[in-house]
Amino acid sequence: MQQSTSRQLYAYWDRVRNGRIAPRRFEIEPGQIASVLPETFIAEHVGVPGCRFRLVGTKICAQFGKELRGSDLLSLFGTEDGDSLAALLRSVYRDAAMGEVQFDAYTEAHRHVKFEMILLPLIHTGNTVNRILGSMSAFDPPFWTLKSA
Question: Quick check: pTM over 0.85?
Answer: yes
Q: What is the pLDDT of residue 50?
A: 77
Examine residue 146 and state whether it is found in any structural domain, yes or no.
no
pLDDT score, position 6:
95
Per-residue model confidence (pLDDT) at position 148: 46
pLDDT at 8: 97
Q: Is residue 149 part of a domain?
A: no
29 within domain boundaries:
no
- Any domain includes 82: yes
For residue 28, tell me if it sits in a domain: no
What is the predicted pLDDT for the residue at 79? 80
Judge whether 86 lies within some domain. yes
The SS3 assignment for 33 reads: helix
Q: Write out the residue range of the structural domain in which residue 104 sits.
A: 4-16+34-140
60 domain-assigned: yes
Domain annotation covers residue 25: no
Among residues 135, 94, 104, the alpha carbon closest in space to that of 10 is found at 135
Distance CA 70, CA 39 (A): 17
Task: Indicate which CATH number applies to the domain containing 10.
Answer: 3.30.450.20
Q: What is the mean pLDDT of each run of 10 residues along the chain (149 residues)?
A: 93 96 95 96 85 94 91 88 90 93 83 91 92 94 59
The beta-strand segments (E) located in the chain are 40-45, 51-56, 99-106, 112-122, 131-138
Residue 139 backbone phi and psi in degrees, to 5: -70, -40
Work out how many domains the chain is built from and give that number: 1
| pLDDT of 107 | 75
| Phi and psi angles of residue 102, each rounded to the nearest 5 degrees, phi first | -115, 135
